[in-house]
Amino acid sequence: MVSYIQAPPAAAASAPSPIKATGRSLNWGVVSTGRIVSKVIADLQSLEDANVIAVSSRNEERARAFADEHDIEWAYGSYQAMFDEPEIEAVYIATPHGQHFEIAMAALKSGKNVVCEKSLTINAAEARALVAEAAAQDLFLMEAVWSRFTPAFARAMEILESGELGEPSWVQADLGFKAQYDPQWRLFDPTAGGGALLDLAVYPLTWAIGTMGFPTSVQASADLNEDGVDLQTAITLGYSGVRHAQLMVSLNSSSTREARVSCTAGWLGTNAPLHNPTKLFIHPVNGPARTEVFEPVGENYTYEFREATRCIQEGLTESPTMTWEHSINTMAIFDGIRHQLGIRYPNDLARTSNS
């Protein structure tokens, strides 16, 4: 019989709160008034050293309403108008992926440090161009893969690296939900970079990359709808040695939304959702199984903003945890998958030639 021991994660117990200041205060502006900004904003505002002083929207009334609701001083009816404001040092971009490149490039060219939602861009060529601009301007740029900074993910990596479970050999991770078709919704809109791949695969992939690094081979199959958007995509990653990852993303089916890492001397699993688990299940072959439990701080986006803030305070241009290489390689994997599946976006044709 498996016995479960509730154990506090040692690392999390001693870690400082992500809300605590790590240096001077930064002035932030946020781009868009969409769904995710509304969820994330309180976490950014909760940092002791973050002043969220502005919001921008394509529509001035929406910006003003959002600013009033979230106690933000300045509201702009265009993204560029906010980028032109010298007091703003960093921006958080949360538009659909199809628009990330243009907006993040405009922000960088205006001298702003950038945290941009996932997927960073819609192809690797765009990601490389953003990285080149950030490097040239000596500005911080990070894809907002918040999962990488959560204590549960960090602890999972610590356990796997400790060798307690042997060598990781197989990752299974899925992320699926039933999205009602709406051609206006970014998930189904090719110009927004719609589809399960770019919206969801970043997260299961984070478990495969975190555990085993970047793969040597990628195979995918998918079901596309009439607009050429992938509704459900299965991805198999190959590695040297006896190592694989099987990832599944879907806009068509509800799934367990869990990750499991099978190792030569046991396995580790998460509860749902795998992008922000609150439990890790650790099953060593030669010992009792245990569960480690994690308390979120806010919605748990606090950790990615702590990382970005600390990096900017320290004058870093990239996060050592969520690196530029990671984002570019991820987009290159997606390019390869899209090539296999025949997924094309109207607004990436001009920019894919060197991807």
Ligand X SMILES: NC(=O)c1ccc[n+]([C@@H]2O[C@H](COP(=O)([O-])OP(=O)(O)OC[C@H]3O[C@@H](n4cnc5c(N)ncnc54)[C@H](OP(=O)(O)O)[C@@H]3O)[C@@H](O)[C@H]2O)c1
In the set 12, 36, 135, 289, which binds ligand X (CB under 6 A)?
36
For ligand X, give the closer residue by CB, 62 or 310: 62
> What x-and-dash track marks residues 43-62 binding ligand X by CB under 6 A?
--------------xxx--x
Residue 302 binds ligand X (CB under 6 A): no
Window 187 to 216, contacts with ligand X (CB under 6 A): 192, 199
Phi/psi for 103 (5° steps) reads -75, -45
Dist CA 173 CA 201 (whole Å): 9
Dist CA 279 CA 143 (whole Å): 25
Window 125 to 184, contacts with ligand X (CB under 6 A): 144, 146
In the set 117, 143, 174, 307, which binds ligand X (CB under 6 A)?
117
Residue 80 binds ligand X (CB under 6 A): no
Q: How far is the CB of 32 from ligand X (least distance, A)?
A: 4
Strand ranges inside the chain, DSSP E: 5-7, 26-31, 50-56, 74-76, 90-93, 113-116, 141-143, 168-176, 217-224, 230-239, 243-250, 259-263, 266-270, 279-284, 290-293
Residue 186 binds ligand X (CB under 6 A): yes
Residue 64 binds ligand X (CB under 6 A): no
Q: How far is the CB of 94 from ligand X (least distance, A)?
A: 5
Q: Near ligand X by CB under 6 A, which window of 96-104, 163-171, 210-218, 280-288?
A: 96-104
In the set 29, 44, 97, 305, which binds ligand X (CB under 6 A)?
97
Please give the residue ranges that form the binding site for ligand X (CB under 6 A).
32-36, 57-59, 62, 94-97, 99, 117-118, 144, 146, 186, 192, 199
